[in-house]
Amino acid sequence: MPMIEFKNVSKWYDRFQVLTNCTTKVEKGEVVVVCGPSGSGKSTLIKCVNGLEPFQSGELVVNGESVGAKETNLSQLRSKIGMVFQHFELFPHMTVTENLNLAQVNVLGRSVDEATAKSMMLLKRVGMEDHAPKFPGQLSGGQQQRVAIARGLAMDPIAMLFDEPTSALDPEMINEVLDVMVKLAQEGMTMMVVSHEMGFARKVAHRVIFMDRGEIVEDATKDDFFGKPRSERAVQFLSKILHH
């Protein structure tokens, strides 16, 4: 059973169709990179996975549960799927530790001590343990994003979603975040990553999905995608992003 399975998922904003019959899957332990031009629906696609974006037709099954179904407990499903945002979205009024503890305590019901121990362990893993008592505003973008990854991992997720995790970062900070993600991928985490970092894709992705105008135009293994992209649009897109 795949960890995430899209079956003909379509979504509209009024008349405007953002997703058109999207079908794909992510197996357990697989790393899938999603790329495509701006406005092609990449963010919308991965936000469907944890129900942040509702969709109108098709089916989306995550860990055996149908996301759109009425009987699905969305909060519970979300607590099992980590999500990392382009703009970090750490809670600015809480310290780094409090950011990591919040959902552990209030959603998973861990004690504060238990949660703090877990948080410190994860902060160490992303190289941020010295910054635990600080507020997000006192950290650089790269540091904030590493904390955000740790916040997702603190919930012991079965999969992690990343929506352009490095595109709001200054160039010199991109690698510190990508390094954390590469390590995570190599440890076998199931990951769905919206990103234009083709270096990252080449290194750890199993598959690459190319989207354009709400459609999944290409869904191929990494080697096929970089070796012989079949669609005109993917070729054009690749040449554009690989040449800058």
Partner 1 sequence: MFSGFDFDVIERSLPYLFKEGMTFTLTLTAMAMAGGIVFGTLLAMARLSSIPMFNVPAATYVNLMRSVPLVLVIFWFYFLVPWIGGWIIGAREPIQVGAFWSSVITFTLFEAAYYAEIMRAGIQSIPRGQVSAGQALGLNYWQTMGFVVLPQAFRNMLPVLLTQTIILFQDTSLVYVLSITDFLGAAAKIAQRDGRLVEMYLFVAVVYFIISFSLSYGVKHLQQRIAIIR
* Binding interface with Mg ion (CB under 5 A): 43
Which one-letter DSSP state was computed for residue 128? -
Site residues (CB under 8 A) for partner 1, limited to 35-54: 47, 50, 52
* Half-sphere exposure of residue 152: CA atoms within 13 angstroms, side-chain side: 29
Q: Across the beta sheet with 65-66, what order do the strands follow?
A: 16-26, 4-13, 57-62, 65-66
Query: How is residue 225 written in tokens?
Result: 């995608």
Total count of residues recorded for the chain: 244
Supply the minimum distance, in Å, between the C-beta of residue 11 and ligand ATP: 9
Supply the minimum distance, in Å, between the C-beta of residue 118 and partner 1: 14
Site residues (CB under 8 A) for partner 1, limited to 55-94: 75-76, 78-83, 85, 87, 89-93
* β-bridge partners, 6: 24, 60
Question: What is the DSSP pairing of strand 159-163 with strand 191-194?
Answer: parallel
CB 35 within 8 A of CB 211: yes
Binding-site string for ligand ATP from residue 25 to residue 64, where x marks contact by CB under 6 A and - marks none: -----------x-xxxxxxx--------------------
Site residues (vs partner 1, CB under 8 A) = 47, 50, 52, 75-76, 78-83, 85, 87, 89-93, 102-103, 106-108, 137, 151-152, 155
Binding site for ligand ATP (CB under 6 A): 13, 16, 18, 36, 38-44
